[in-house]
């Protein structure tokens, strides 16, 4: 591999990795908050992609401008999923972990089915957007603008998340709830409200990622499954609950995937990250940055 080609691989891997981190961070945030793995996370992503696609279709507003709209829409979806489903799953007396897995799995399947039924299983894509199909030539390394935009959105989102967690009352309430669920009730924080907002926030983050992906990726009812699995791998790699572990793990996943794709046949491109994931959790059962 020439230096040029290697740089190309690393740069596109890095950009994709930042997007993966953005997909994964909401999942990690929710887990850190309340020990629930949302198996419908990929379907949240799919929903965001369809939201952007639909808005673009009917209003012709460019997807770049729709990014905040997708985040807002997903905030509502996330909070609704908590209030309508997960809240009840947490009341189970026995086998709570199992109930949570299957309740969110049920939600995922339902969302997939609904997308298929109402929006057809067709693959769709957004043509003619500001960034779609355009690339930046950086001294011979070609970077697609949508991915660059995605990387920037991701960095901005992590920056915002950092400020939110460290500077605001809501961030402190989140942190406190993460640390000790019992104690927060004593100081008058409404757990349910924090959880609902946490789910909203987690979903809004994946909404950002979905809006970015909608610019350059095919949109279809199963799209969540692919990215969902990458998100679980990323989160497990970074350590469940670790927000900045997700950032590091996302970048690692992006780089490893790009390298595998360059070295192995395209059909095998996911082998690299899966193997990496297994290798790491077998050595460190709670991920790279896990607290467990």
Partner 1 sequence: MTTDVLPFPPATGLLPRRRNQLLVAAAVFAAIALIPFLVRDVYLQNVLVLTLLYAAVSQSWNILGGYCGQISLGHALYFGIGAYATSVLFVTYGVVPWGGMLVGGVLSAAIALLLGYPCFRLKGHYFSIATIVIAEIGLVLVHNWDFVGGALGIQWPFGSDSWWTLQFARDKVPYVHLALGLLAITWFVTFLIEGSRWGYWWRAVKDNPEAAESLGVEIFHSKMAAAAVSAFFTAVGGSFYASFLAYIDPESVMSFRFSLLFALPAVLGGIGTLWGPVVGAAILIPLTEITRSYLGGSGSGIDLIIYGGLIMLVSLAKPEGLLSLFRRKPKAEARS
Partner 2 sequence: MSTDTLLTVANVTRRFGGLVANSNVSMTVHRGEMLGLIGPNGAGKSTLFNLIAGTFPPNEGRILFEGQDITGLPAPARCRLGIARTFQVPRSFDSMSVLDNVMVGAFAKVPGSHAARRTAIETLDFCSLAHRTEASAGDLTPPEKRRLEVARALATKPKLLLLDEVMTGLTPSEARLGVELVRKVRDQGVTVIMVEHVMEIVMPLVDRAVVLNLGKVLAEGKPKDVVRDDAVITAYLGERHRAA
Q: How far is the CB of 128 from partner 1 (least distance, A)?
A: 29
Q: How far is the CB of 39 from partner 1 (least distance, A)?
A: 9
Q: Which of 99, 155, 165, 176 binds partner 1 (CB under 8 A)?
A: 99
Q: Which of 98, 183 has the CB closer to partner 2?
A: 98
Binding of partner 1 at residue 85 (CB under 8 A)? yes
Q: How far is CA 239 from CA 43, 248, 269, 285, 286, in A?
A: 22, 10, 23, 9, 6
Q: How far is the CB of 95 from partner 2 (least distance, A)?
A: 8
Binding of partner 1 at residue 139 (CB under 8 A)? no
What CA–CA distance (Å, rounded) separates 10 from 21? 16
Q: How far is CA 247 from CA 20, 61, 239, in A?
A: 8, 30, 11
Residue 105 contacts residue 232 (beta carbons within 8 Å): no
Binding of partner 1 at residue 33 (CB under 8 A)? no
State the DSSP string of 123-176. Answer: -B---S-SSTT-EEEETTEEEEHHHHHHHHHHHHHHHHHHHHHHHSHHHHHHHH
- Provide CB contacts within 8 A for 259, sequence distance 6+: 9, 13, 272
Q: Which of 110, 152 has the CB closer to partner 1?
A: 110
Q: Which does 64 bind (CB under 5 to 8 A by kind): partner 1, partner 2, none?
A: none
What CA–CA distance (Å, rounded) separates 35 from 62? 37
Q: What is the CB neighbour count within 10 angstroms for residue 171?
A: 16
Binding of partner 1 at residue 158 (CB under 8 A)? no
Q: Which does 171 bind (CB under 5 to 8 A by kind): partner 2, partner 1, none?
A: none
Pull the structure tokens for residue 79.
């909070």
Q: How far is the CB of 203 from partner 2 (least distance, A)?
A: 33
Q: Please report, as ranges, the residues that interact with partner 2 according to CB under 8 A.
A: 93-95
Binding of partner 1 at residue 185 (CB under 8 A)? no
Q: Which does 107 bind (CB under 5 to 8 A by kind): partner 2, partner 1, none?
A: partner 1
Binding of partner 1 at residue 152 (CB under 8 A)? no
Q: How far is the CB of 85 from partner 2 (least distance, A)?
A: 24
Binding of partner 1 at residue 83 (CB under 8 A)? no
Q: How far is the CB of 166 from partner 1 (least distance, A)?
A: 27
Binding of partner 1 at residue 263 (CB under 8 A)? no
What CA–CA distance (Å, rounded) separates 50 from 119? 9
Give me the sign of the Cα torsion angle 232, 289, 244, 274. negative
Binding site for partner 1 (CB under 8 A): 31, 37, 85, 88-89, 92-95, 97-99, 101-103, 105-118, 121, 221, 225, 229, 232-233, 236, 240, 265, 267-268, 270-271, 274-275, 277-278, 281-282, 285-287
């Amino acid at each position: 591999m020439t230096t040029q080609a290697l740089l190309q691989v690393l740069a596109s891997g890095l950009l994709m990795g930042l997007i993966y981190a953005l997909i994964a961070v909401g999942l990690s945030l929710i887990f850190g908050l309340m020990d629930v793995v949302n198996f419908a996370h990929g379907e949240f992503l799919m929903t965001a992609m369809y939201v952007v696609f639909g808005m673009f279709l009917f209003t012709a507003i460019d997807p770049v401008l729709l990014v905040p709209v997708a985040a807002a829409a997903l905030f509502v979806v996330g909070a609704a999923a908590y209030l309508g489903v997960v809240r009840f799953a947490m009341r189970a007396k026995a086998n709570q972990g199992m109930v949570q897995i299957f309740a969110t799995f049920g939600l995922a399947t339902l969302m997939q089915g609904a997308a298929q039924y109402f929006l057809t299983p067709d693959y769709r894509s957004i043509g003619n957007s500001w960034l779609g199909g355009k690339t930046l030539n950086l001294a011979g390394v070609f970077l697609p603008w949508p991915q660059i935009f995605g990387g920037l959105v991701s960095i901005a989102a992590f920056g915002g998340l950092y400020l939110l967690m460290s500077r605001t009352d809501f961030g402190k309430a989140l942190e406190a709830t993460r640390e000790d669920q019992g104690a927060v009730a004593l100081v008058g924080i409404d757990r349910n409200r924090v959880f609902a907002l946490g789910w909203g926030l987690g979903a809004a983050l994946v909404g950002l990622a979905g809006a970015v992906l909608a610019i350059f990726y095919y949109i279809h009812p199963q799209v969540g499954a692919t990215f969902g699995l990458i998100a679980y791998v990323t989160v497990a790699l970074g350590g469940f609950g670790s927000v900045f572990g997700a950032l590091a793990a996302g970048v690692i996943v992006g780089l490893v995937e790009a390298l595998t794709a360059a070295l192995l046949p395209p059909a095998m491109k996911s082998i690299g990250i899966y193997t990496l994931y297994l290798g790491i959790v077998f050595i460190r059962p709670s991920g790279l940055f896990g607290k467990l």
